Copies of this chain bind each other. A is one copy, B any other.
């Protein structure tokens, strides 16, 4: 899932995202809550309508940003008090208010409010944090079940929007996005599923302790969600630990429901995690790296700012068919980056996203071939 923090994948128009084959993007509840505000988005019909993106959207719970962007946060049983990174103003997220925000934003998939356990954490701390996340998961689900009908879109608007942009035709080819309630494959807009709402996923925590991860997974599954995320990783631990914890967690999550690994990774890592059974991943790496001139290619990583590309008339990646590699030379991309031109960010991001989405298409193809 490309990351579109503020209801925009930085620098990339929505039609280009569609052309790249992005079927779902992630937006950040914390950022949208601060700007433009949940109520504003809700009144405009939710994120799909607000950003003109009829494909699927997932919003995170806000928990990770509250923890990673706030040194002054205060956690209680009730929730988290934090300060805006924009103006220092004080705010409070509870499982209930985080769910309320995500229902108002109206993404297709929403996440239970969790505490992202810091790294390193000792056993007692990791257990206490895990227990808190479990209690918050129950509260998240309870609030969601009681309020899920308040989502700003109705089925009618959602389906007509999908039909307008050919979403249904694409669903017919590839199947609906995991965990998203869409009309039956290949059908006409009718019959409408009158009861369709958002899908709430639970999040497994438990630090770097496989036993805690097992317990967290089992007890989260007991609460019962239509999909499960593995949280609390990529927080500074060594990569081999990430892999061990992913493996230790996945085996306790049902394989017939989406398993979502949050916040990873490099192209090599997403292949590896998919191979372990992960169905969904999100990461800022392709988009953030692009803004720093770091480009992923079939021949390895390239830092386009390097002077030796200044006279290189070849394509960025000779094996890539994206609109950037089809049209522009390394020399031109290097010039744009060195001159601090906005088009550098636009083109670099398009290419990196294309590379990531191609990687996942190759993974899906291998799966369909039984490899």
Write out the residue numbers on chain B whose beta carbons fall within 8 Å of the beta carbon of A331: 36, 40, 44, 50
In the bound complex, residues from chain B placing their C-beta under 8 Å from that of A35 are: 335, 338-339
Interface positions of A from 301 to 347, Cβ below 8 Å from B: 310-311, 313, 323, 327-329, 331-332, 335-336, 338-339, 341-343, 345-347
Q: Which of B14, B36, B346 makes the CB contact (< 8 A) with A13?
A: B346
Contact with B along A44-73 (1 / 0, CB 8 A): 110001111000000000000000000000
Within 8 A of B (CB), among A349-371: none
Chain B residues within 8 Å of A135, by CB? none
Minimal Cβ-Cβ distance residue in B for A313: B44
Contact of A342 among B11, B40, B310, B338 (CB under 8 A): B11
Cβ–Cβ contact B323 & A36, under 8 A: no
| Contact A346-B339, Cβ < 8 Å, known A14-B327, A44-B311, A328-B52 | no
Which residues of A216-257 have CB atoms within 8 Å of chain B's CB atoms?
none
**A40 touches which of B10, B310, B341 (Cβ 8 Å):** B310
Alpha-carbon distance between A38 and B178 when the two chains are bound, in angstroms: 52
Taking a contact as CB atoms closer than 8 A, the residue among B10, B50, B310 that contacts A36 in the complex is: B310
Is A142 among interface residues, defined by CB-CB distance under 8 A?
no
Cβ of A11 and Cβ of B44 under 8 Å apart?
no
9 A-B residue pairs with Cβ-Cβ distance under 8 Å, sorted by A, are A6-B336, A8-B341, A15-B323, A15-B327, A35-B338, A43-B311, A44-B311, A49-B313, A342-B346
Instruction: Report which A residues bind B (CB closer than 8 A).
Output: 6-8, 10-15, 35-36, 40, 43-45, 49-52, 310-311, 313, 323, 327-329, 331-332, 335-336, 338-339, 341-343, 345-347
A36-B331, A40-B331, A342-B345 are known; give 16 further A-B pairs, CB within 8 A.
A6-B339, A11-B343, A11-B346, A13-B323, A13-B343, A13-B346, A13-B347, A14-B327, A15-B327, A35-B338, A40-B311, A44-B331, A45-B313, A52-B328, A52-B329, A346-B346
